[in-house]
Structure 1
């Protein structure tokens, strides 16, 4: 509802040593990772050779380059999020108010998985992402609450960043801002039931340098459509109760320009988030509960003069966690989530994802 986030992707280079032969590639950035392929990791090389017998050797080299670009795209998609909706985003906010939010999100990944499931250890992708968010609501339209908001994330890389044992250059900075409007076509507080529709637009205006491996920004347009549904499972609407919140998002991406004649094309991606908060203290709306998140899609291809090549990058992970929140005063509230990825393909697998949010209603 009031907020949502994009998984951001960045670019870096990869050169692979197979049987002591370096498979070269041309890169937008200036960093190469040279990695000796073991028998288990031959699957990674096979990703480069999906076109076997159908394209030339030079096209195969280009596909290898595309995969290298994709690794950074994938590894940044998951750690650097501007935040999905949290349980307090389910109820409709009061009309004609402003709400200021401050988030901090920490993510740490020690493994990377190819699209086919090969595990690459010796990985360290760690980010800290403070997020500012401002919401303003207006008088209802035909009884439907609505409002607008802006979200500004800042991505900080912590320490050395590595994938498969290779160091990755990185640059902290602002990610694309998110501009949004939302509407509650269904709002029944007495039944603890709402439906919210939201749209988010992110222009390519963040910190981006094609010569850097990991950027804070993806340097592309992102259109995000969201629908959320909230209803109590049991209990009283204003008392102790168990709620169920289901959120569904669709992401549509513009191209990311890498260099003249070369760009990254990202397929649409989908995201589902489910919360089951139990409100145990109605006076402060304090809750504890469980969270589940699943994303899929987001296949990234490199388009160059030789053709279009699958990079192996996907937006595909499954995350489970615990959540908690409470109003600290009538106008100040806090929420937190601690989660871990239980599955990932075509990207980094987070060992820890932790976020805390504090908000103030004016």
Structure 2
């Protein structure tokens, strides 16, 4: 074998080994698995009817308030109730000295008896004169005078009866009763105090607090926007009689019983730019007292085209805008800027920025960059989002 031939064979063998090595490297690279996709949990959005609520501040006020005042003059002999206690309608609260009013009633009754006796006499005289005038025993003028006297006697009886009724009413006013059922305040007079009916001396106050009113303040601008949304068809007005109002107390706790809408005011307070919305709440245990500051959530309508997005799915960008991460059909992520309303349970009400069928990442989005490939798992309805 010549040296040239040997050289060519060695070169060919080296080339063959080199190609084999390169092929092996290529196969090794292809055999390496791709990076694992980040697992995330998603929810698929569907349009749903969501109540449109507004949170309003307000204060409680008594359902009924009665100022108990003196209606006759006299000295207070007795206070018949315990201050701060619940009282019944018609329950005696004070006793004013009735003695002078008893005497006045007796005098009026005596005057009535006198007037009735005089009327009896005038009736008999008129009957006799009627017979005599028919027999021409007396003049027609004399008979006419007897009939007039009879009419005057009847008027005197009516006046005396009215005087008796008035005296009896004044005597009744000496026992001061509660006009309503409710809770009494402190007494403003004591035993031995002189009160005047002409001055309507204030004795105490009774307030009914079950049920109780809650007067809320809604800005006129918010009311104007609501009317515009209803006119544009964005919000469907609900049945005002069926609206349930939730109350939050001064300490942040929730009041257990729902309230009902009483009325919506139509006059704007020029000082505050707000209108009054009145609600009524049951208050059987007396938890709510007049003058308490509260917050109420009032349903103003229904949005039939909103989305409920779990709170855990929403974040905010550097500009403070609310955002969510969505997944397209290829399993890649994107960031959407959304418009949110109020909260509903554990969800935000989203009114813009999403469409029906969008898949929103609820958990795992913190570890994913926009445009990344993810492995999505649909969350069961009502399942809590992972932290």
Q: TM-score, normalised by structure 1?
A: 0.22
Answer 1 or 2: higher relative contact order, Cα 8 Å, separation at least 6. 2
Q: TM-score, normalised by structure 2?
A: 0.21
The structure whose residues are more often helix, as a share, is 2
Structure index of larger Rg: 2
The structure whose residues are more often strand, as a share, is 1
